[in-house]
């Protein structure tokens, strides 16, 4: 079992980080929260979740253990797969998600693409006690994210990230353009977060 990978960050997109360790490049699926935290760093340490299926061997990377624990809890809920859990951690930070679960805010959880009413309620019922028992909800700063400088790649990176998450490029591009026209200074991770709530 891989606990974490520590090495040089050789490639980074909002959905994927490539970390070279001992001459091997590991491709790790990441959330937007992890992307924000490691952007601009040369050396990184990502905690790993291994998804081993008959047709694939997929690695997910997390900036800290709290995010990985939240991911592992989410995928125990019936109807929540690894990609849905990653999308949830892209749309909300761990503290925001914990707060929504502990207060029973199903509407907020439903605002994330792919989460219906039943799934949102199931997440709350299944995880409310567990997040407290595991201490995931403790002492995590909410916010404080570094704003990325504005550049012309924001639109392309946002569309690329959303396409990698499984959305069709055409409607995605339309939503991303609309967001950037209204708020041209937004960094790519914020554009993607907003788009996740708007793409139908």
Rounded Cα distance between 87 and 115, Å, is 10
**Amino acid 31: pLDDT:** 94
Where residue 2 falls among pLDDT bands split at 50, 70, 90?
very high
pLDDT in tens, 59-105: 999 999 999 999 999 999 998 999 999 999 998 888 889 888 988 99
Q: Of all residues in the chain, what percent carry a pLDDT higher than 70?
A: 90
Q: Does pLDDT of 200 surpass 60? A: yes
Higher pLDDT, 111 or 25: 25
Tell me, what's the pLDDT at 137? 63
Q: Of the ranges 9-18, 72-81, 99-108, 135-144, which one carries the lowest mean pLDDT score?
A: 135-144
Mean pLDDT of 47-59: 91
The answer to whether the beta carbons of residues 60 and 51 sit under 8 Å apart is: yes
Q: What span, in angstroms and rounded, lies between the C-alpha atoms of 131 and 140?
A: 13
- N- to C-terminal Cα distance for the chain? 38
pLDDT at 151: 42
Tokens for 55? 């047709």
Percent of the chain having pLDDT more than 90? 50
The answer to whether 90 and 192 have CB atoms below 8 angstroms apart is yes
At residue 140, the pLDDT reads 41
| Strand runs labelled E in 31-149 | 43-52, 57-62
pTM, two decimals, is 0.71
Q: Which residue has the tokens 């339309």?
A: 174
């Amino acid at each position: 079992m891989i606990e974490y990978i520590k090495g040089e960050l050789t490639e980074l997109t909002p959905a994927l980080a490539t970390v070279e360790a001992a001459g091997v490049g590991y491709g790790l699926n990441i959330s937007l929260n992890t992307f924000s935290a490691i952007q601009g760093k040369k050396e990184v340490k990502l905690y790993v979740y291994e998804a081993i299926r008959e047709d694939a061997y997929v690695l997910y990377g997390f900036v800290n253990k709290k995010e990985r624990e939240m991911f592992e809890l989410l995928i125990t809920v019936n109807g929540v797969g690894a990609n849905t859990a990653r999308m949830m951690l892209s749309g909300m930070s761990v503290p925001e998600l914990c707060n929504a679960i502990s207060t029973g805010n199903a509407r907020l959880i439903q605002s994330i693409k792919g989460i219906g009413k039943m799934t949102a309620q199931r997440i709350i019922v299944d995880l409310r006690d567990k997040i407290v028992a595991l201490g995931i909800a403790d002492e995590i700063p909410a916010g404080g994210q570094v704003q990325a400088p504005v550049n012309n790649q924001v639109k392309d990176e946002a569309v690329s990230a959303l396409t990698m998450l499984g959305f069709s490029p055409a409607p995605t591009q339309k939503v991303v353009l609309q967001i950037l026209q209204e708020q041209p200074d937004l960094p790519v991770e914020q554009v993607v977060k907003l788009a996740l709530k708007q793409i139908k």
